[in-house]
Amino acid sequence: MQKVDQTSAEDWQGDRGAHWLRDMDKFEFMLEPLGLALLQRAGLQPGERVVDIGCGGGWTSRKAASQVLPTGSVRGVDIAPMLVKEATSRAKGISNVAFTCADAASAAVPAAPFDRMISRLGVMFFADPGAAFTRLRSLLVDRGQLDWAVWAPPEDNPWMSGARKIAAKHIDLAPPDLSAPGPFSLSNPECLAALLTGAGFANIDVVAWTGEQSVGGQGSTPQDAADFALTALSFSDAVSDIDPEIQLAIRSELVEFYAGFYSGGQLAVPAKAWLVRASA
């Protein structure tokens, strides 16, 4: 039977959220450059009220909160209770940020509507993105602005897709479905723009961000990256219960793969995302 490695919003309430919590500092180090690019482009202003969709551990929420002082505020929203708990803990002492555990596609969000909406990789997991985006539109005031970061196509992100291809050589993974909830569901900018237009957004502007990923976190080696891929990427559940010898074979190939991006004690695997801007 083919194993499916897509990720839905509901998955974040269970194993996927638990995996992110376990490896949060590694993920945050990897994604910090993209988060900084997102916030720089957003250009949040003092006094603005911001909602952060799919806030995870709250890194973007905390950064945004510092930018909207002294009178602005940030509300982080995530479907994963364990991540909201961690975000709340990490934001202790920051008076203008708060967190809500909710499905932003359907639930009420306290303090809505907001002036601004941000999301770093938090909007690709909705089962019905058209309906979800319409709901997200209702969280913004008229002419409010969203700024999102979403992954570009898999071929532009070998740090993830290259590792998946190696796993798929050894186990029967279902072909990736880019229309299903998952990290690449919004990787086609034309389709993304059409979804936003249908949801009531205008002035849609999508630009590319390119960077590098230190897979496995700060100071990661090819061995660290291989271990991280086997336990933290989207296909990790599919390989967790296979024969240990096959796992070792996959790991060996992953080490060799990531070694091709390792130089001078630094692991730098190419990555690409879209920075998306639109107005309500």
pLDDT 10s digits, 169-228:
999 888 888 888 999 999 999 999 999 999 999 999 999 999 999 999 999 999 999 999
pLDDT at residue 8 in the model? 63
Cα 261 from chain centre: 22
pLDDT at residue 9 in the model? 67
Closest listed residue to residue 20, CA positions, set 78, 97, 68, 107 = 78
CA distance 275 to 186: 11
Omega cis (within 30) before 70: yes
Domain residue spans of the chain: 10-153+181-214+266-279
- For residue 51, give both structure tokens: 């909602």
Q: Reply yes or no on whether the pLDDT at 111 is more than 80.
A: yes
Q: What is the mean pLDDT of the segment spanning 140-154?
A: 98
Q: Report whether 161 contacts 126 (CB < 8 A).
A: no
- For residue 113, give both structure tokens: 């509507």
Q: Reply yes or no on whether the pLDDT at 4 is more than 60.
A: no
> If DSSP codes are grouped into helix, strand and coil, which group holds residue 183?
coil
Residues paired with 152 in a beta bridge: none
User: Could you tell me the sign of the dihedral formed by the alpha carbons of 159, 162, 165, 170, in that order?
Assistant: negative
Domain spanning 10-153+181-214+266-279, CATH class = alpha beta
CA distance 3 to 163: 16
CA distance 46 to 33: 23
pLDDT at residue 1 in the model? 45
Band (pLDDT 50/70/90 cuts) for residue 5 is low
Q: Reply yes or no on whether the pLDDT at 39 is more than 50.
A: yes
Closest listed residue to residue 82, CA positions, set 2, 16, 138 = 16
Q: Reply yes or no on whether the pLDDT at 132 is more than 70.
A: yes
CA distance 253 to 273: 26
Cα 269 from chain centre: 17
For Cα atoms 113, 119, 122, give the angle at the middle one, nearest 5 degrees. 115
pLDDT at residue 242 in the model? 87
